[in-house]
Chain A
Amino acid sequence: MAKKIPQINASSMADISFLLLIFFLVTTSMDVNKGLARRLPPPPQNQPNQEKLDLKIKKRNLMIVKINSHNQLMVNGEIMEVSRLKDEVKKFILNKENNPNLPEVVEDEFDFGGTVGQKKVKYTKDHVISVQNDVDTKYETYLDVQNELVRAYNEIRDESASYYYHVKHFNDLSESQQKVIQKIYPQKISEAEPKNYN
């Protein structure tokens, strides 16, 4: 006769898992590791060269964003609210109307791959956005400005992704497709070397 296996008493299982659950509940911090990703320029090798480089950039290709110690914004000599910055930056980068005061527009051929193939693209190759801040500028304002600049680039990339590849977002593209668009619209945000006031 087959022996009957006694049933395992599982009533304490709930208690044990409750204990574990409470432990994880307490230790959880939902720490999201997110942030605004940026890339720093390599350290300056020799100072004089840097200054020469700055002078080389034509005035129309340069957008200077200054933030003062009272967290006020000045873009190319014009006082501006942060909320307007993104649209101004987009206008500056794209220069759709070929305005002589905005960066030079050049035409180049890019290989979009796949069904799109080679296409000519008008874009502002040499534009540079330069951010200068004061020692007493608040970190929050600085990040707000950086955020708006990155947002302008992201929107432009999204727009060209939908124009050339008919997808809604830049992030939906394949890696090689992303590279093409990054090549047309690289993030050209430069940060001024901090000045010494002594």
Chain B
Amino acid sequence: MAKIRRNEKREMPALNTSSLPDIIFMLLFFFMSVTSMKEVTYKVDLSTEKMPKVTELTKLEKKSLVRYIYVGKPKQEFTKMFGSDTRIQLDDQFAEVSEIESYIVNERAAMESAAEKNPSLKGQSQKLQVSIKADKETHMGVITEIKQALRRAYALKISYAATQRNEL
């Protein structure tokens, strides 16, 4: 006959945590693979809601081939020095439209000198691609000037950075 024990104290079995490291590692690998460190710190305000939305997105090619031009209003902490008009940022600094041409030429020269040391990189400077990351409120006057500068520098492959939009 089954005995019904009442007064005996039952101890809670210890929780088996041996699989915890495995789970954490899995998460770790996921984040390691999707992580892409920001290329630069933005000086212009380009938060997600400021990016334009389009439907026909294409992924950019190899990261090493892409150079970025940021266009937007300076962040809060820079408005005192640079005002609140639309500005251009190249790498880590504010720049003028006139500097874009030499920037592209310099970047291309840097790629070419890297190719001299490493033959597998040959011809990459021809594939240079420019991504324009601009605030959607920007006036086309600025963008047109940038485009003209890029044409003069023969950087003809461009991409307007945008986020995905789901239908109109």
Contact = CB atoms under 8 A, between A and B. Distances in A.
B140 A139 contact: yes
A39 B157 contact: yes
A83 B135 CA distance: 22
A137 interface: yes
The binding surface of chain B is classed by DSSP as: mixed
A10 B154 contact: no
B15 interface: no
Given A40-B147, A139-B135, A142-B143, A34 B161 contact: yes
B36 interface: yes
Contacts of A36: 54, 56-58, 159-160, 162
Given A14-B20, A35-B159, A140-B137, A135 B144 contact: yes
Interface in B2-39: 17-18, 20-21, 24-25, 27-28, 31-32, 34-39
A131 to B, nearest CB: 11
A133 interface: yes
Interface residues of A, number: 46
Given A17-B28, A21-B24, A34-B59, A194 B162 contact: no
B144 A194 contact: yes
B155 to A, nearest CB: 8
B156 A40 contact: yes
Given A27-B35, A138-B136, A40 B59 contact: no
B124 interface: no
A152 B2 CA distance: 78
A136 B140 contact: yes
Interface residues of B, number: 55
**A-side interface mostly:** mixed
Contacts of A133: 140, 144
A140 B39 CA distance: 24
A24 B18 CA distance: 23
Nearest to A11: B17
A34 B24 contact: no
Interface of B: 17-18, 20-21, 24-25, 27-28, 31-32, 34-39, 52, 54-60, 63, 66, 131-132, 134-141, 143-144, 147-148, 150-152, 154-164, 168
Given A21-B24, A35-B162, A134-B140, 19 more contacts: A14-B17, A18-B24, A24-B31, A24-B32, A25-B31, A27-B35, A28-B36, A30-B36, A32-B163, A35-B57, A35-B132, A38-B160, A42-B154, A136-B141, A138-B137, A139-B137, A139-B140, A142-B140, A144-B54
